[in-house]
Structure formats: C-alpha cells, structure tokens
Amino acid sequence: MTASTPRGVFITFEGGEGAGKSTQVARLARTLGAHRTVTTTREPGGSTRAEEIRTALLAGVAKPYGPFAEALLFSAARIDHLDRLIRPALASGEVVLCDRFMDSTRAYQGAAGGLDAEAVAALERVVVGPTRPDLTLIFDLDPEIGLARARARAAGQEAQGAQAAPDRFEAEALAFHARLRDAFRAIAQAEPARCVLVDAARDPDAVADAVRAAVAARLPGLLDDTEGRTDAA
C-alpha cells in the first residue's frame, strides 16, 4: 500500500522503560472508545510479521551487528506495521494509539546507541514518509524509577510462574537509560508542535489527567463527547 494522507488521528506514546506508556495507552483508549473507533498497537510489533521481528530484536539477535542493523530491523517491522495496520486504520478515520514509534529509533539506536542522526533521519523519511504522528506524548521519568517499576513488574510475573528476564534493552547500563531520557527530552524540545512532555513520576490517575489535558489542547474536539467519563479500569 502506498502512503496516503491519513484521515484519522495518530497518537504515539514514547519514553524510557517502565514510564507507564502501556498503562496510559489503555486508559486513553477506554476514554476515546466511548465515541470513536480506536486501534491500540505497539512497536516493535503490531502486525504478525512485525511481532516476529520483535521477538528477535528483544532477544538481542541483532545486537552483535550494531545499531544500524538494529535500526534496519526496527524499520522492517515498521514498514509492515504501517502498511498492514496503521495506514489502513487512519484511512478509515480511526484513532490509532501506538506504544512507541519512530522517536524510539531516534533515541535508542540514534542518541543512546550511537547511530548517526542523518542515517536515522534518512530511514525515517523512506519508512515513515508522510505518516507522522499528529501528537506524541513523551513520558519523562528518572530512569532509576522506571527500571525499578519494570523490575517490580517482572518480580510479580515470576511470582506467578512466568519467565521475566530483562530484554536486550532493559539489560543496558543506567548511563544508556540516562542518555535515552535526555534524547526524548531533546525531541520534545525540538518539535514542540508535535510533542508534549508528560511528567510520568506522578500516580497513574494524575498522569492520565495530564494525557487528557494534552489531547484536549492539541487535538481539539477529540475528547468532546467523553467529557465527565472516567477511564479508570
């Protein structure tokens, strides 16, 4: 499918590990789902083929080949995700909420991983093209807190008998996660028309309020029919 001008609304959620993105994707989906068709998705993944690539990436299969090879694999997954899920949903007028997207490549493989910014920008041009997010919420959190949240979640999963070893990125040193935070903050500063920085250190209800406030300010009308509704589970 070729890139076309989207008619729906594309919102991406970005930030470091354990910042609460998935939690807030689900909450905003519940709020908007009352009066709009909402598709929630994630990267890497979101389509059958992209989920297969996700498994390889998070297992660290591409790590020995360096950040450019990793960026190419994230891009391969993104091409399939865009073609099979995101663009068709936007063309149907849906709201697409995506847990991570192109800014994660900029931050993880680019700023923190050492891949040249021009190479990242070139990939973005050919892979994403005109399908840019209408709004990007960047969840800002001290990486020590985010990693502690991820560890607590893993401990809970292990207590229930599931395997929850850190993935290829969770296993990176704290300095890598600090570079990520700086990179995401720099993206928010560089593209204020697209991005809103969300203080993710607050409790989930306060973060959800900040998310709704950002959506109301940047995408007028999208929340209008949901006024007074709560998105709590």
Binding site for ligand Z5A (CB under 6 A): 15, 17-23, 42-44, 74, 100, 104-105, 108-109, 149-150, 153, 167, 169-170, 203-204, 207
Q: Could you give the CA distance from residue 144 to residue 101 in angstroms, rounded to a whole number?
A: 23
Amino acid identity, residue 118?
Answer: E
Task: Pull the structure tokens for residue 102.
Answer: 């192109």
The residue (of 35 and 122) whose beta carbon lies closer to ligand Z5A is: 122
**C-alpha 109: how far from its chain's center?**
14
Q: How far is the CB of 2 from ligand Z5A (least distance, A)?
A: 22
CB nearer to ligand Z5A: pick between 13 and 222: 13
Q: Given the complex with ligand Z5A, which of 8 and 15 has the nearer CB atom? A: 15
Q: For residue 146, what are its two tokens? A: 């985010």
Q: Give the shortest CB-53-to-ligand Z5A separation in angstroms.
A: 11
- 36 or 149: CB nearest ligand Z5A: 149
CB of residue 65 vs ligand Z5A: minimum separation in angstroms?
A: 14
Nearer to ligand Z5A among residue 142 and residue 170 (C-beta): 170
> What sections of the chain are H helices per DSSP?
21-32, 48-58, 67-81, 87-91, 102-104, 117-127, 143-159, 174-190, 204-218
Distance of closest approach, residue 30 Cβ to ligand Z5A, in angstroms: 14
Pick the closer one to ligand Z5A by CB: 9 or 107: 107
Minimum gap (Å) between residue 122 Cβ and ligand Z5A: 15
HSE on the CB side for 178, CA within 13 Å? 4
**Minimum gap (Å) between residue 224 Cβ and ligand Z5A:** 26
Q: How far from 118 is each of 110, 111, 123, 125, 190, CA to CA, in Å?
A: 9, 11, 9, 10, 16
Please answer whether residues 98 and 24 qualify as being in contact, where contact means their C-beta atoms are separated by less than 8 angstroms: no
Q: Which of 196, 190, 45, 15 lies closest to 117, judged by CA? A: 190
